[in-house]
Structure 1
Amino acid sequence: MGRSASKIVLAAVLACVGIVPAVAQQGAPPKDWREVKCERYKAAWTEALARRGTKGVGREFLDNHEAFLASGCTTQGNVCPRSEEELALANIMVVAAMNAGTASTFPPFACRR
């Protein structure tokens, strides 16, 4: 049996008895909190759009929000709700973000111009 096969057999035996060495747990590094928050926020955004739709929501609002998501939620927020529908969606997302464990300042909603 080769060296690689021996390691696999050993890892399998240890896993069966509940002892798995750290070497056997190679995988993606743990995500940082910002990545986790962004994933949760993206999921909430997708759900909000699926439930509410985009009627009354302008292209600029959607494009600016998409740019925020595409940045990994790292760019400074510049998504300005102008219509009642945009403001309602922004409010939903602030609550959703807080429910996902982020601060109310995490979402990108701001009117800077």
Structure 2
Amino acid sequence: MRTDLFHLIFAPMLYCLWVGGAVSQSAETDDWTRQKCDLYSAAWQDVEASQDMAGVSDDFLEKNRNFIALGCPEGMRICAISPEDIDLANLLTVLSMNEGMASTFVPFGCPD
């Protein structure tokens, strides 16, 4: 009987604490994801305004713009092919890391 009373009284409170913590952590994660995308977008705009894009492939440029427009979806990959694509990918990776993002955030990767 005491066990049933305990579950009746405390289980709902523990559940609320557990769910509330998960929701709070999820909201913080979503905020950081949005912030990372905003930072990447700002870096992209700075790079477009200040760097010579000669030699950067149209496909690489278009896919980066799409990555930002779609909200920087996880799992989207952009393959840097030309030396200029690779240089730009490296620059964006360093800029992202300078903002506190892991290098895994950037969308660069090629199929095997």
What TM-score, normalized by structure 1, do the two folds share? Answer: 0.68
Aligned pairs for 1:91-110 (under 5 A) are 91-110=90-109
| Corresponding residue of 1:60 | 59
Gaps of 5+ in 1: 1-29
**Cα distance in 1, alignment partners of residues 90 and 67 from structure 2:** 17
Structure 2: give runs of 5+ residues left out of the alignment. Answer: 1-27
Amino acid of the structure 2 residue aligned with 1:81: A
- Aligned equivalents of 1:108 and 1:77: distance in 2? 6
Q: What percent identity do the matched residue pairs reach? A: 40
The Cα of 1:49 is off from its aligned counterpart by 1.5
- Counterpart CA distance in 2 for 1:75 and 1:103 is 13
C-alpha displacement of 1:75: 4.3
Q: Tell me if the contact between 1:77 and 1:107 (Cα under 8 Å) persists in the aligned partners.
A: no
Residue 35 of structure 1 contacts residue 72 of structure 1 at CA under 8 Å; is this kept in 2?
yes
Q: Secondary structure at the match of 1:32?
A: helix
Cα RMSD (Å): 1.9
More helix by share: 2
